[in-house]
Amino acid sequence: MPSSPMSKLGRYEILEELGKGAMGVVYLARDPLIGRLVALKTFRAGFSPQDQELEQFRSRFMREAQSAGILSHPNIVTIHDIVDEAESGVCFIAMEYVRGSNLKLLLQQPEPLPFEFVVSIVSQVGDALDYAHSRGVIHRDVKPANILITAENKVKITDFGIARLGSSNLTMEGQLLGTPNYMSPEQIQGREVDHRADIFSLGVVLYEMLIRRKPFQGENLTVVTHRIVHEPFAPPGEILQRLPQGLGAVLARALEKDPARRYPAASALAADLQRLVRAPLPAAAGPAEPDDDTAATQEIPRPEEETPAPARGIGPALRRLFGRMRSPRGLLVTALAGLLLVAAVGLGLFLSGDRAPAAPVAPPAPAGTAVASEVTRRLDAARRLLQQGDPTAALGEVVAAEHLRGDDPVVRQVRHEVEEAIQAQRRTATLASRIAGGLAAAREALERGRPSEAKIAAEAVLALAPDQEEASQLLADAERRLALESERRRAARAVPPAPTPAPAVPTATVVAVVTPTPPPPPVAREGTLSIDFFTEVPEGVLTVYADDRQIVREQFRFSKRTGFLRSEKQPGTLHYDKQLPSGRLVLRIYVAVPGQPTRAVSVEGEIAGGGRQALRIRVSPDGATTAELH
């Protein structure tokens, strides 16, 4: 085992260096508290916070831990610990140590992957993604290098470094995050992204596992991204003839340009693939004529047993791959090839051929009346589960009915209803999360004596749910407190009238000629507030209150085009001139920056009638806001 110049990192004992890249090193380490082996993924020590590019990488690095840290699933690599010491520059994640390889390395082997093995990978990745999506986490970078496969054919997905929590907006217009070959059209175009972007990426991975090439290729990034957004993928039957019938339709739905027409969940994609595994075998003779929808021909021959043997053809590839990992040198080479969670040697089950079996083949379907009865029973169960609010379980019943009679219009209609229910359930969960966050923000603002912030948060909730009772109460409370504050300020500004002098007692009669004086010019009752706003954060919302009156609210995005379908964020400025009543007032400034809490900045000053005051607002790269009144 190669020696390492570092013996400890935090409390962890360094055992071996597994891989090294531009941004850091991956170590095999031991947690002395419980004796557990972990993989330590480190960020390069000694970076300067002024280096914006490195700081962006560090932020992505920490988001990986924060995103994956809330997830606990057998098909997701577990995050055990996170250390971020800004003073010393030490930054690392302690994560589950997986013995195995990744799908990218496996695809470099010459043997084709059996269809049952491909379906198993998609099913396990789909389970992990559906779980993450249900927790509001979108992976955004599903690709073979991030799919780990253990010696027992257990699949784990890793690298949530650009994942996005559904309740926050960590991405900005024009920011190209992800691996371009596996990105969805909406990611490339910088549009709003939801869980269906991961389903598109999983469809690309499925295509590559079967065809050994990507569905959208080109000589450079511009061509690749253009084809993903605008052009159809090459039908698989035109490239490889020995594929299951119906696979083209599955790929077409997974790779839809329009997210609304894709599979609503990764489990639905996996279910359709399982149906192809269990479908009757086509004739093994020459290639069939491709139809317009699928362009698919023949299915790969399968074993005849009810429970098939382990997938054939995978053993030699994995034996070679894991064979290179027997020595520490081979392990390091594999790590340098791109495995973030590089694993140790684990050959026992592969060399003995004792691998996890592929999905079992369903028994032959009953005929005639029995088939109709079973289809009816499955559809009734699906409808019952829908009424009980469990559309995911209902989808399983519909898939079972499709295995028996997939061309039945009633089955298709029920499937449509189930998919609509799944989409509605996801929308409801997202809405509930946003409402709960807004209510919590409004309550906290009131508790801290910030009624203006509470008013903004409550109004945002009511924009989502106009009948939300608690939001209405919080808004009324905030407006009542703002009115009291405004009344107190008006009372403080009020000037008492001058006393009326007592009438003078005449002592003598005086005759004089009095020249009338001209009346004084009218006093101006308003002044001008000139607002100059400069921000180094390119996206957000600016809101300004003068006492209890909102005078500015504007959403801003600053970027410049740098190439085809790409733009670069940049600082920006805004300017406003506002007429305000003369007198003393309090200005409150709110700058909402994606991914950061919104805090008020307050300044007080005097607006002179007919005069001009300047309010200068500045936002630094880290989102800190300052304001000065001159």
Give the C-alpha distances (Å, rounded to integers) separating 436 from 66, 195, 391, 429, 441: 20, 21, 24, 11, 9
Longest dimension (CA), the chain: 136
CA dihedral 354, 358, 364, 366 (to 10 degrees): 120
Q: What span, in angstroms and rounded, lies between the C-alpha atoms of 315 and 79?
A: 30
Query: DSSP assignment of 78-105, as one string?
Result: PEEEEEEETTTTEEEEEEE---EEEHHH
347 φ, ψ (degrees, to nearest 5): -100, -15
Q: Which residues contact 7 (CB under 8 A, 6 or more apart)?
A: 13, 14
Distances (CA, A) of 21 to 24, 97, 99, 375: 5, 18, 20, 55
Alpha-carbon distance 131 to 71, whole Å? 8
DSSP 246-286: THHHHHHHHT-SSGGGS-SSHHHHHHHHHHHHHSPPPP-SS
Q: State the catalytic residues.
A: 141
According to DSSP, the β-strands at 559-563 and 566-569 are antiparallel
First to last CA, the chain: 67
Tell which residue, 177, 155, 153, has the closest CA to residue 164: 177
Report CA-CA distances (Å) from 440 to 62, 436, 444, 468, 470: 25, 6, 6, 13, 11
Contact predicate 232/286, CB 8 Å? no
